[in-house]
Amino acid sequence: MDFNDTPDEAAFRKEVRAWLDANATRKSDDKQSFRARNDDPELLAKAKAWQARKAEAGYARMTWPKEFGGRGATPILQVIYQQEESNYLVPLGFFDIGLGMCIPTMMAYAAPEHLKRYVKPALHGDEVWCQLFSEPAAGSDVAGIRTKAERAKMPDGGDGWVINGQKVWTSGAHYCDYGIVITRTDPGVPKHQGLTMFFLSMKTPGVEVRPIKQISGGANFNEVFFTDVAIPDSQRLGKVGEGWKVALTTLMNERLAVGLPSGGLDIDELMELARDTDLDDGPAIKNQQVRGKIADWYVQQQGLKLTRYRTLTALSKGQTPGPESSIIKIVAAPKMQDMGAFAMEIMGQGGIMKEQVPHAAGFQAQWIGGAGFRIAGGTDEILRNIVAERVLGLPSDVRVDKDIPFNQMGKK
Amino acid sequence: MDFNDTPDEAAFRKEVRAWLDANATRKSDDKQSFRARNDDPELLAKAKAWQARKAEAGYARMTWPKEFGGRGATPILQVIYQQEESNYLVPLGFFDIGLGMCIPTMMAYAAPEHLKRYVKPALHGDEVWCQLFSEPAAGSDVAGIRTKAERAKMPDGGDGWVINGQKVWTSGAHYCDYGIVITRTDPGVPKHQGLTMFFLSMKTPGVEVRPIKQISGGANFNEVFFTDVAIPDSQRLGKVGEGWKVALTTLMNERLAVGLPSGGLDIDELMELARDTDLDDGPAIKNQQVRGKIADWYVQQQGLKLTRYRTLTALSKGQTPGPESSIIKIVAAPKMQDMGAFAMEIMGQGGIMKEQVPHAAGFQAQWIGGAGFRIAGGTDEILRNIVAERVLGLPSDVRVDKDIPFNQMGKK
Amino acid sequence: MNFDFSDDQKLLKEQIARFLADKCPLKVVRRVLDGNEAFADEVWKGLVDLGVPGIGIPEEYGGLGLSPLELCVAAEEIGRVAAPVPFDTSVVLATEALKLAGSDAQKKKWLPLLAAGKAIGTLATAEGAQTPRPSNVRTLFGGGRLNGRKVPVADGEVATFAVVLAKNSLVLVELAQKGVARKGIETIDPTRKHCELTFTDATAELLGAEGEGWRLLERLYDAAAIYFAFAQVGGAEAAMYMARDYALQRFAFGRAIGSYQAIKHKLADCYVKLELARSNAYYGAMMLTDGGADLPLAAAAARIAATEAYDFASKENIQTHGGIGFTWEADTQFHLRRARVLALSIGGPMAWKDRLVTRLEQKNAA
Amino acid sequence: MNFDFSDDQKLLKEQIARFLADKCPLKVVRRVLDGNEAFADEVWKGLVDLGVPGIGIPEEYGGLGLSPLELCVAAEEIGRVAAPVPFDTSVVLATEALKLAGSDAQKKKWLPLLAAGKAIGTLATAEGAQTPRPSNVRTLFGGGRLNGRKVPVADGEVATFAVVLAKNSLVLVELAQKGVARKGIETIDPTRKHCELTFTDATAELLGAEGEGWRLLERLYDAAAIYFAFAQVGGAEAAMYMARDYALQRFAFGRAIGSYQAIKHKLADCYVKLELARSNAYYGAMMLTDGGADLPLAAAAARIAATEAYDFASKENIQTHGGIGFTWEADTQFHLRRARVLALSIGGPMAWKDRLVTRLEQKNAA
């Protein structure tokens, strides 16, 4: 039992490190980051440049087939690349959804000529993709979407569709070039059966993107409005009415992408704060309640990191990982919220002030951001359902809407 | 705002105290108890004697109408009597179910001649009653009972019923004289509709009582088996098929009866233990984790006591109490379990030993008994459902069995 | 047994509730959030017209001379709507500090102004992101002069005076003088403005005897804990019902999310915590009114229970709302922010739990 | 990355699991619960035949000379069935104490007997219901004689020898001598027998250097924490699946109780705690095998996570069963009792959390 690479992995890691040394700047310490702000246009340009270089070197999506610019490699090699890359000051994060979810969906359902047209620019960072699934009335229940697509003739006389409706929580829609969008094409059948998937240019007339400001102050997500957006039938992915099957492909890829939340403040900073801050009876670190909390969160932090190592071990052995990684966000999100709140409590009344002590703003951001993290990408409640059903084999919740045509579903 | 009696209440309290002083022995301190063990036959005799004396003095069920031996008094007077009585060394607890649930059900549904026959002996402690509702396959879901009652002719030629089946968790069945029993008389209709209630003598041939030993070692509950138990139709309570309505009367009275768990170890004993016991770094009471837990449980203990005072205030004013008392067991049961476990932890490895330190066995009994208290009389989960539905007005769970004939309900 | 508010007190509560429902809906809180107002002036003026700042001030000093119970019902309603007004600072902390420690001259000068809403007071104890202790308080008072820095101070920018912890004493300092510099700071709750106060040879005077600051502060915090507990109970109840209402109208998988046990039991837990908090707060109010021996213990219990209830309800209100509840447009944020400010402003739960057990030890030893 | 057991280790695990599934179903645990056996003799003999007591004992001392990893997989399977055998005492505590502190003569004498199941050892530290500390340990050793009283001592009635904490030293004492009185005591878990040992001028010898007792105990507990963690992980998993299976077959309101979110999410929480415990236990096993610098920290983390997981799963298993789960006839009780015994036997979670943070401070300072 060890954390070591196999000889092949070690050789690959060495190769990657050499390439990164030659092409990027190593971080001075592991807390340093590129300070990525998704709304910085210069950052996007830098990210595109880095993505291009990476793609040229064949590191961008190593698990993809060679014909699409990959290496047909095992997932563990991709993980090793990412581990190494995380030690360098490079701008990341813009392409994860596109390459992790949208393009794999395209690969499964798009026509060869479309793959020829879209895969390479996406891989090389020339074009960024987003996923247009959630709607105001369809969050946890994605299949409850209402955005309509109706058959129509295109100006050139070809078959096409007109889309009307609204999407929400679309990451990066404001800088994306393309998106995949799930729509309702038949409201007269039960909800999972009337859906159809398309891809489209975000510059198509009638598409309007508005940023959503969050409680945390950030605005990484968007609302996207569709008003008589006309697209040709050739942009359909999968059969008409089989959009749910297509969406499951996309969402399955999302599950594989879930990793550990990285960066951000954690036990080290909490210990530092507790060492440097007095409570009523002396340094906080001497207080057994503080120590108890630190220990609990340390056990969780370590537990998640080590659980990730178990998953990587399976990948390294070419096996399918177990379901253990399904616990990650269930643990990490409340921990983020609670630890932030507790750090604020250690600071006393002054815990409400931004930027007065080294990590004040950081812990406040965890406290408030944790509230969002408990919701985004699957709420606490949905994730527990998933563990109960998929891991423990318990029955699904009673579904009252299963066999009812979508347009017959009354609210009461 | 005060905890004082109204002038009328004060006068009554004085009267009660005088009567109790004349008829019973005052406890030397409030932790003293009669050490009631339900399986001590001598204790039952003493309890019956005390009940008789109480009934003669008109204190046994003051809220009942005068014709049944009550005073037609407001509930607050009954509470005052109980408060005062709790300061005296008297054997209690044998008649609560009979007088609190069974006889009120009889009053609502039994024929006048039956009331004439049964109410007085019950009130005076001559006859003890039990409630035969729960079954192995019907716990939280009482209406799912399977004990069958089928029409039959009695030996005397009169109309009657034959009961077959099994009840479980029947408090005191081993010393009870009578019981009310809910049965299924029509399995061909949805489950709430095919029930019928009866009362019967526990000495009726075919009734067999077996005690249930609990994890805690106690055996206050019983299984009751019915094998061809024949009873006349005159022992039916309510109409055939309307047993659920009758049961609701009984269960509503159960809700009114829920009070604070009294006696048992609590904060005082935990503080005493923490003061007298060393942890690694000195007396447990100096440890901030211990202090934090004590504070949390004190807040809960006080919160429940004071919540009860709010309910009593409403009774004192002749108002209907609010729903606040529904929180009591939700809080008290896990507190019992957790506090017992924590006290054991304070004692270290020695926390597993019975009877080595003053309260060891007591805290262990809380730890293990708490597991049962979280289930008995409504599980944590059922009680939260009740609060959510009855207090907050949230919808009931999806009921898949509502309109299906009982005998058509497949298990899968 | 009369463990409830009187009909008159309930009437006052309703009156204040009606006024606030009308004049202080959450869109007023949002206006303060997004704007530059120190507080919602028209709401404050209305509360002054209703006599709220004078509730606890004796009639001889221009107040209504009512009992703590009346101030408790006011606190609950103000907490319910998360009103952006200097209630906690001026009506609770500054007024109670004066009543507790003020000389007759100080009371005569300030209480009538406070009662009439013509002065706003505040309390300044913290000096940065650390619990103040005798060993770390650097603000000093001597020869009638105050020197030091206090931050964060709620309403410090608009307050007429502040009660300041200077080493081991409380002093009263008028803020409109050249020895006082005020600088607005950013906090997690923009709906209650805070600032940094810097004193440079500022004219000030003792409030209470010299060296009595910590003892006075403890008594002041006990009273404040109870009023704050009512504000927290009001806020927790509002957050709980906001979540409940949303759970009834939001549908997922063909039914209201309020029909799922995950949501039902979460909200039931909100209710349980709320009722524990309410009962403990009532007892605190009763002890405060009677000056009962249990006051310190009751105050600590009220504070702990109410902080827990509001924290939980405000967090789980967002969780119940899902994504929409995390947007700037959602009203859920007001309770989340306010819950945290109230939780920390007179010491967090950890400190109060230690205090509670100390008091329990004292009671048991007595 | 090879953070998993090897195929050989998994094979051993399966072998032990198969044996225990066959010979140690819960009805055997019940037999010990209701009877007077010291432990389940045939199960212990079978484990001896499988070589379990010798797994961690070097070949030169008659053991199998395998790594801690092999003992970890055995611990998990033994914990899974709550086997009533002297594994925690003899195979973990006594054997590890000898390996850690024994002289060559002591090892030569005892390890082969332990490996062959011909001797049973135990550890005796507590003197009543209090955490032993240098200031409260009264048992004394001097001039080759041991005097004092130890209680509770697991398997003390049948053990051949005990490792005893005498003031600040560990001593080894053979129990079949007239200076030793043994008296069975009642505990919360009758499936693991405990006793009181009274030493009156009993012949004994130092185990390790004089005055090194506490330091040795800390190292012994670190190793034990990891083996116990595997036992707790096994038990927690068994309790979780017992609850899951019941939730699938028990119906209420026309559907399996496992279809209600209250039950689903409770069991999901069991799984989450279980996986956190498993991952931390794996790291402990790896550190134990490598003698890594992180061993003390990893041991504390494994202990805390595993104790929490087993405590929770064993409690909520009963809760999931409802009334039937609280009856003496139900098998739920075995895990509840064992979880508590394992939680307390080498110090409870509070103590280990303090220890963890101390070690974290040391690591950060290094």
Residue B31 tokens read as: 């932790």
pLDDT, tens digit (0-9, with 9 covering 90-100), for D116-174: 999 999 999 999 999 999 999 999 999 999 999 999 999 999 999 999 999 999 999 99
pLDDT, tens digit (0-9, with 9 covering 90-100), for C281-296: 999 999 999 988 999 9
Residue B384 to chain D, least CA–CA distance (Å)? 10
Which of B15, B254, B272, B324 is an active site residue?
A: B254
pLDDT of residue B258: 46
Residue A313 to chain C, least CA–CA distance (Å)? 34
Strand C161-166's sheet: what is its strand order?
C121-124, C161-166, C169-174, C205-206
**Cβ B341–D340 below 8 Å, yes or no?**
yes
Q: Is C248 on the interface with A (CB under 8 A)?
A: no
Neighbours of chain B (3+ CB pairs under 8 A): A, C, D
| Whole-number percent of chain C with pLDDT over 70 | 100
* Chosen from B79, B302, B331, B382 to mutate, greatest number of chain C CBs within 10 A: B302
pLDDT of residue A411: 47
Residues D136, B277 contacting (CB under 8 angstroms): no
The candidate with the shortest Cα–Cα distance to D349, out of D320, D310, D316, is D310
Q: How many CA atoms lie within 13 A of B372 on its CB side?
A: 21
Mean pLDDT of chain A: 91
pLDDT beyond 90 at A150: yes
Q: How many CA atoms lie within 13 A of B376 on its CB side?
A: 18
Neighbours of chain C (3+ CB pairs under 8 A): A, B, D
Which of the residue ranges A82-96, C200-214, C271-285 would you say has the lowest mean pLDDT? Answer: A82-96
Residue B182 to chain A, least CA–CA distance (Å)? 29
Residue A78 to chain C, least CA–CA distance (Å)? 32
Query: At C251, which helix (H) or strand (E)?
Result: strand C251-252
Q: Which residues in chain B touch residue C240, judged by CB atoms under 8 angstroms apart?
A: 392
Kindly indicate the confidence band of residue A33, based on its pLDDT and cuts at 50, 70 and 90. low
Q: Is D283 on the interface with A (CB under 8 A)?
A: yes
Instruction: Report the alpha-carbon distance of residue A195 to residue A179 in Å, rounded.
Output: 16
pLDDT of residue B263: 57
pLDDT beyond 80 at D45: yes
Mean pLDDT of chain D: 97
pLDDT beyond 70 at D318: yes
Q: How many CA atoms lie within 13 A of B35 on its CB side?
A: 2
Q: Which residues in chain B touch residue A289, judged by CB atoms under 8 angstroms apart?
A: 288-289, 291-292
Examine the residue annotation and report whether A42 is marked as an active-site residue of this protein. no
Instruction: Quote the ipTM score.
Output: 0.95
Q: Is A396 on the interface with B (CB under 8 A)?
A: no
Calculate mean pLDDT across residues C134-152. 97
**Cβ A306–D282 below 8 Å, yes or no?**
yes
Interface subset of C 228-247, CB within 8 angstroms of B: 240, 244, 247
Instruction: Report the alpha-carbon distance of residue C270 to residue C241 in Å, rounded.
Output: 10
Interface subset of A 277-336, CB within 8 angstroms of B: 287-292
Q: Is B392 on the interface with A (CB under 8 A)?
A: no
Distances in Å between the alpha carbon of D294 and those of A222, A271, C83, D13, D56?
45, 18, 52, 26, 21
Q: Which residues in chain B touch residue A292, judged by CB atoms under 8 angstroms apart?
A: 289
Distances in Å between the alpha carbon of A205 and those of A163, A202, A229?
11, 8, 6
Neighbours of chain D (3+ CB pairs under 8 A): A, B, C
Residue A252 to chain D, least CA–CA distance (Å)? 20
- Only one residue has tokens 């005569």, namely C108
pLDDT, tens digit (0-9, with 9 covering 90-100), for A223-267: 999 999 999 999 999 999 999 999 998 887 665 554 555 557 889
Q: Is C33 on the interface with A (CB under 8 A)?
A: no
Calculate mean pLDDT across residues A104-115. 96
User: Exposed/middle/buried for B106, CB within 10 Å: 0-12, 13-18, 19+?
Assistant: buried
pLDDT, tens digit (0-9, with 9 covering 90-100), for D58-87: 999 999 999 999 999 999 999 999 999 999
Cis preceding linkage at D112, omega within 30: no
pLDDT of residue A328: 93
Residue B60 tokens read as: 């046994």
Find, in chain B, the residue whose alpha carbon is nearest to that of D187: B353
pLDDT beyond 70 at A36: no
AA identity, residue A166: Q
User: What are the phi and psi torsion angles at D297 (to 5°)?
Assistant: -70, -45
Q: Which residues in chain A touch residue D256, judged by CB atoms under 8 angstroms apart?
A: 394-395
Kindly indicate the confidence band of residue A37, based on its pLDDT and cuts at 50, 70 and 90. very low
Find, in chain B, the residue whose alpha carbon is nearest to that of A401: B398
Residues A311, D4 contacting (CB under 8 angstroms): no
Which of D264, D276, D360 is facing A384, going by the closest CB pair? D264
Residues D301, D280 contacting (CB under 8 angstroms): yes
Kindly indicate the confidence band of residue A412, based on its pLDDT and cuts at 50, 70 and 90. very low
Q: Which residues in chain D touch residue A271, judged by CB atoms under 8 angstroms apart?
A: 357, 360-361, 364
Q: How many CA atoms lie within 13 A of B224 on its CB side?
A: 32
Instruction: Report the alpha-carbon distance of residue B68 to residue B71 in Å, rounded.
Output: 9
- Between residues D225 and A358, which one has the greater pLDDT? D225
Residues C359, C207 contacting (CB under 8 angstroms): no
Mean pLDDT by 10 residues, chain B (412 residues): 94 97 88 56 91 96 94 91 92 91 95 97 97 92 94 94 96 94 95 96 97 91 97 97 92 59 78 94 94 98 95 90 89 96 96 84 94 92 95 93 82 44
- Only one residue has tokens 């309307």, namely B242
Number of helical H runs and strand E runs in chain B: 12, 10
Q: Is C328 on the interface with A (CB under 8 A)?
A: yes
The candidate with the shortest Cα–Cα distance to A80, out of A23, A3, A28, A2, is A3
pLDDT of residue B412: 41
pLDDT, tens digit (0-9, with 9 covering 90-100), for D102-121: 999 999 999 999 999 999 99
Helices (H), A24-161: 41-56, 75-85, 96-97, 103-109, 112-123
Q: Which residues in chain A touch residue C354, judged by CB atoms under 8 angstroms apart?
A: 280-281
